[in-house]
Amino acid sequence: MFIRRHYEGVTEQMASSVARELAYAISVVETEAGEEAAARLALLSRPLGIAFRLEPGGGVAPDATRRFFDVTGGVVAETFRREIRRPMALDLVSSDRLVEARIQTDVGVLVAEVDRRRMIATNPHQLLVVMGIAAMALVTVAVLFLRNQVRPIRELAAAADAFGKGWSLRFTPRGAEEVRRAGAAFLAMRARIERQIESRTLMLSGVSHDLRTPLTRMKLALEMMEPSPERDELAEDVRAMERMIDEFLAFARGEAGEAAEETDPAEVAGEAVDAARRGGAVVALRLEGAPAATPMRRGAVRRALQNLLSNAAAHGRTVELTLSEGRAWVDYVVEDDGPGIPPDLRETALKPFARLDGARNQDKGAGVGLGLAIAADVARAHGGALTLESGERLGGLRVRLRLPR
């Protein structure tokens, strides 16, 4: 709309100038007589750049012939009618270079052929080109500016996501002041959390040593005792205490010290199943397809599967581990034929040290209720999830450990 109004204004000014020249030619025709009028028109044609001829005794039917899309042609016709105020006919179609005006005068019809360029701007596209180039330049500057501002935000998000999964990506705050301040705050927070984890790990190492020392003395004392039912019961209690300490330390320590690496998911599943079978469990392994290598903490995932298989074997006679994959994930599904867990208690079962009522209790046997909690922690550390479902094949509990690729 702005460009249209601009060129209509320019056309009106140019057409008004030509109209005044035509009005002067009309006054010359009407004041001179006969051949003198024709001679004066011939003299005017050169300086004005307009071709004149006079048709004595003719008449003109007011009209303006132009193409429907010729907006400036309508402006020319309106300007001529306003400035000249005589019956006239305009032809803007017959020639692409000229505009023919037939004007009624007192002595006949004055025919004027005017160069179109004198009345109509012939290069309106130049402004459009300039505006287009300016717009492209502004868009380019804006895109570069926004990219430089968005890139550090994406880097910060990637570093925060990786830290949530137990990895530490190199990150340097840059960009706008607000982004730099947020990045510096994240680095300070990460450093504090890493120091806390390191302090906790050192403390747990000391606790482990302090707890295992008296247990070792108790085991030596038991070895020196005479065989008896009381000695066997006490030895079993000591072994149960060792298993409890191992589970407590595994849950509290986590797997922060292990780096993720490209691993064959089928190999990890096979190792976990072999370990469960050595413990006396009846476990079947099903592989659906040939899963490709996936980045994971091999030891953590293997221990999580061992916990799930051990928990399933403690509550069922038959256990099955199924490995499947999708485009963006790998699924380890452990299913048993035990009593299962009611849907309203499944969220509670994933909490550490939670006790369930009924036939399936996490504290059944020698466990302390940390198997599912440890597996869920491993899944979250990989950016995945652990879900409890009702088994369809064996009818018991089905635990799905999903890891992203």
Do residues 355 and 308 make contact, with C-beta atoms less than 8 angstroms apart?
A: no
3-class secondary structure per residue, 81-130: HHHHCCCEEEECCCCCCEEEEEEEECCEEEEEEEEHHHCCCCCCHHHHHH
Per-residue pLDDT at 14? 82
Per-residue pLDDT at 256? 52
Task: Classify domain 1-122 by CATH architecture.
Answer: 2-Layer Sandwich (3.30)
Per-residue pLDDT at 254? 58
pLDDT of 316-327, one tens digit each? 888 999 999 888
pLDDT of 121-175, one tens digit each? 655 556 667 888 999 999 999 988 888 888 889 888 888 887 876 677 888 888 8
Residue 368 has pLDDT above 70, yes or no: no
CATH of 124-253, one of 1.10.510.10, 1.10.287.130, 3.40.50.300, 1.10.10.10: 1.10.287.130
Q: Which residue has the higher pLDDT, 222 or 184?
A: 184
Q: Where are the domains of the chain?
A: 1-122, 124-253, 257-404
Q: What angle separates helix 265-278 from helix 298-315, to the nearest 10 degrees? A: 40
Per-residue pLDDT at 364? 47
pLDDT of 3-16, one tens digit each? 667 667 777 788 88
pLDDT of 286-302, one tens digit each? 888 777 888 888 888 89
Q: What is the Cα–Cα distance from 299 to 268, expressed in whole angstroms?
A: 8
What the block records as the tokens of 151 is 């890139």
Q: What angle separates helix 177-224 from helix 229-253, to the nearest 10 degrees? A: 170
Q: What is the Cα–Cα distance from 122 to 67, expressed in whole angstroms?
A: 16
On average, the pLDDT of the chain sits at 81
For 257-404, CATH number?
3.30.565.10
Do residues 113 and 50 make contact, with C-beta atoms less than 8 angstroms apart?
A: yes
